[in-house]
Amino acid sequence: MMVLETVIYEKKENIAVISLNRPKVLNAQNRQLVADFLEALKTAEADPEVKVVIVRGEGRAFCSGDDLSEDHRISSAEDGLRIIQALQDTTRAIMGMPKPVIAAVHGYALGAGCEWAMNCDIRIAAAGTKFGFPEAGVGATVTNAGTKLLPLLVGLGRAKELVFTTDKIDAAQAESWGLVNRVVPPEQLMETAIDMARKIVRNSSLSIALSKKALSQGVHQGFEETLEQETRDITIVLLGMESAKRAKAALAKTKEK
């Protein structure tokens, strides 16, 4: 176990569990939480024994968004850029990690909390969890690739409704809109997440890593690009990396003709 100031990192079998640990403020995001969360994510990615990562929250919430009690004043544009880049680096770490990341969400997933959940590959929510984007109500905007991911998950019209109105939706509605994969009773949340992680662990890590990348890229690229990606991936898993490089070169020559 690794205990940071605002995050707890545990490894169970081949599963890393990262717990956001500011329960007194419903795990509201501050600069320390961002730094600790990023460190835990990098630890999980670097550990060859870890095959799946679960992100959860201690106490009564997953993450209630920005900690508005923290001084958000910045001394310069460069200072502001460093702060937002540190935050966006957590998104890069989750989405760029070759290992699947499961969000086990309960209580509240608001603002950055909802964004972090969307960054994850799979979202399991406890019944009664509230989701929403309060940013417009406090003069802020959506970050962590939320403006890209939210429309992909729920559709553009619903995404605009959630962001513009700052309304919250419950777990059942989030499931019906496609924001979460499934809803379970609160007492079954971690059990369900662990069971799903164990199913994933039994499968090929290389296949899953390639599939995660291909699925994430596939929604943004053309049909031919997708077919080429799939050709490279199947070559890697069936013939090995060196054969894949040769196949890629052969494919390039074929396209030149």
Architecture of domain 2-201: Alpha-Beta Complex (3.90)
Order of all β-strands in the sheet with 169-170: 108-110, 130-132, 169-170
Query: So what's the pLDDT on residue 38?
Result: 98
Model pTM above 0.85: yes
- Low-confidence stretches of the chain (pLDDT < 70) are 71-77, 240-251, 253-257
Domain boundaries, the chain: 2-201, 205-256
Q: Which of 39, 49, 70, 135 is catalytic?
A: 135
What DSSP assignment string belongs to 179-216?
Answer: SSSEEE-GGGHHHHHHHHHHHHHTS-HHHHHHHHHHHH
pLDDT in tens, 8-29: 999 989 999 999 999 999 999 9
The distance of Cα 193 from the centroid of its chain, to the nearest Å, equals 14
| pLDDT of 255 | 63
> What pLDDT is attached to residue 247?
58
Q: Give me the catalytic one of 10, 70, 115, 256.
A: 115
For 91-136, give the secondary structure using H, E and C. Answer: HHHHHHCCCCEEEEECCEEECHHHHHHHHCCEEEEECCCEEECCHH
Active site residue 135: yes
What confidence score (pLDDT) does residue 251 get? Answer: 64
Distance in angstroms (rounded) separating the CA atoms of residues 166 and 54 = 27
Residues 6 or more apart whose Cβ sits within 8 Å of residue 108 = 26, 60, 61, 62, 63, 64, 65, 129, 130
Q: What is the DSSP string of 42-102?
A: HHHHH-TT--EEEEEESTT-SB-SB-TTS----SSHHHHHHHHHHHHHHHHHHHH-SS-EE
pLDDT of residue 40: 98
CB-based contacts of 184, cutoff 8 Å, min separation 6? 124, 125, 126, 127, 192
The per-residue pLDDT for 222 is: 86
**What confidence score (pLDDT) does residue 237 get?**
83
